[in-house]
Structure 1
Amino acid sequence: MRAFHAVLQVLAGIAAFLFILAGCMLTYEVTARYLFVAPTIWAAELSQLSLIWGSMIGMPWLLKTNQHIAVDAVTERLGKQAQRVCRVLAMTAIALFSAVVAWKGGDIFYDSFERGRTTGSMLDLPTWVSELAIPVGFALLFVQALIELGAAVARPAPSGGPVS
């Protein structure tokens, strides 16, 4: 589990870099297009690819560090045991959803890879490059959700707030 969390930490760093890279590419594109009237053929598509991969590989780290978006207005008012039950149910739902998306996303990736589909843009990248991010990201999220589920089942809820 320690090795997996180390991998998630590295992937979170890569995700952050990809977001910065996307911002730089889009800034360059806007500057090139509007100041120099010389738009690029690569900036929009590569920045989109960076955002897709950054989002997908960052998901499991966000779950691990409890930094994902959560609406806890109701669960904060529950008792410790009810919070624990909610955490178990939430991690179960995330794990099941992630498994299905990883499996179906893998099918879509493989089909595009086999058929040699491309984006059809001027850059004409293979579509599997972006589609691969879905099964990879959701498979990692599945594993992290199982880890969180095991922790939620094994330990009692901490006092003074929701289970994290």
Structure 2
Amino acid sequence: MAPLLRKAIRLIDGASETAGFLSAWSLFLIGFFITYEVVMRHVFTAPTIWVDEVSRILQVWVVYLAASYVLKHREMVTIEVLLSDPTTLRRRLAETFALAMLFIFAGVAMYYGFQLWLKETLAGHTTDTYLAPPKWLTHAPVWVGSLLLILQGLVELYRVWTEDIPADDILEGAH
């Protein structure tokens, strides 16, 4: 494998790992924020104005950022009854088809997500809430996460056809 390609794959894999790490900690923060809200509301009778909206924004980021991490670790829904051997042509064609569908979906989401994000950012729109954060906070994860998913999909497509399967995936029977 060429050194430049190897670096690109490591960079994309690293970005997916970072996205997964950030998603996991965001879920922890969301749980902490909601617990804080419950205590403030029911114990101190002093509800907050920010917990609901901040939690929702973080949830949107979690969904789109975690997708590339899940793909990298081959944890997407798969049915391996007929295609359990990752080295067969049938399995490679099936995975290529699945990744092609992913590219179509993520490409459309990235394109239109970017258009919406750009429009909202340039217009300076905010949400219609008391907190009023900028709308780009909820629109950015759509195209950022979709772009990262496409990049990780390209890496996985390369792995499908070059047998560059991570050792832990072979041991677990995934891929």
Tell me the TM-score normalized by structure 1.
0.88
Residue equivalent to 2:81: 76
Letter in 2 for 1:93: M
Structure 2 Cα separation of the partners of residues 66 and 86 of structure 1: 14
- Residues 34 and 17 from structure 1, CA distance in 2 versus in 1: closer, same or farther, beyond 3 angstroms? same
Aligned partner letter, 1:76: V
Residue 100 of structure 2: aligned partner: 92
Residues 2-55 of structure 1 show CA distances to partners (whole Å, capped at 9, x for unaligned) of: 122122222211111111001100111112112221110000100111111122
Q: 1:105: how far off?
A: 0.2
Q: What is the CA–CA distance in structure 2 between the aligned matches of 1:13 and 1:160, rounded to whole Å?
A: 23
- Provide the rounded CA distance (Å) in 2 between the counterparts of 1:38 and 1:160: 52
Q: CA RMSD in A?
A: 2.3
Q: Identity rate of aligned residues, in percent?
A: 25
For 1:3 and 1:103, the matched residues in 2 are separated by: 23
1:115-163 deviations in Å (ceiling 9; x for gaps) = 2211111101111111101100000000111111122233399999976
- Asked if the contact 2:19/2:68 (under 8 Å) is kept, the reply is no
Mapping of residues 103-142 of structure 1, within 5 Å: 103-142=111-150
| Alignment of structure 1 residues 145-156 onto 2, 5 Å | 145-155=153-163
Tell whether 2:69 aligns with 1:61.
yes
Say if 2:41 is the partner of 1:33: yes
SS at match of 2:81: helix
Return the alpha-carbon distance in structure 1 between the equivalents of residues 173 and 99 of structure 2.
14
1:5 aligns with 2:29: no
For structure 1, the 5+ residue unaligned runs are: none
Equivalent-residue separation in structure 2 for 1:67 and 1:77 (angstroms): 18
Measure the CA separation in 2 of the matches of 1:83 and 1:161: 16
Structure 1's 48 and 110: CA in aligned 2 closer, same or farther, altered over 3 A? same
**Alignment length, in residue pairs?**
161
1:144 is matched with which residue: 124, 147, 152?
152
Unpaired runs of 5+ in structure 2?
A: 1-8
Q: Which moved more, 1:88-97 or 1:146-155?
A: 146-155
Cα distance per residue 1:82-139 (max 9 Å; x no partner): 2221111001111121111111100010111122211111101111111101100000
